[in-house]
Amino acid sequence: MKITDGFDARRLRPRGPGNWRLRLAAVMAALFAAFGILLSMAGTATLLGRPPALGPLNDSTGAAVVLLVLGLVLLWGGIAAWRMCRRRLRRPSDLSLSPHLMKKRD
């Protein structure tokens, strides 16, 4: 059977629901990353001897180290979640066919 040029594989699958959940998750992940940067900066400022940025929350060196580590973990987790959401948003919704099964046209 010959496949015509007007064939569109996207018509075979029904349209899925909107991706507003992934967009919201990407925004939340970006906010977590930004909050992680701010916490890391506050912990670093205290360790470098500047006045504490968060009042009595990070007066001691131990609290500053905890803020720095927590900020770096939030930054890493936020970036990882943001990248995962962006990757899923950009994933094509076409049929998943292996490239070697497609007919080669010159």
pLDDT tens column, 18-48: 678 989 999 999 999 999 999 999 888 888 8
Of residues 72 and 2, the one with the higher pLDDT is 72
d(CA 79, CA 57): 26
The candidate with the shortest Cα–Cα distance to 7, out of 94, 98, 101, is: 94
Joined tokens for residue 71: 């900020």
Most distant CA pair in the chain, distance: 77
Q: What local confidence, expressed as pLDDT, does residue 16 receive? A: 64
Q: Which two tokens stand for residue 51?
A: 């006045």
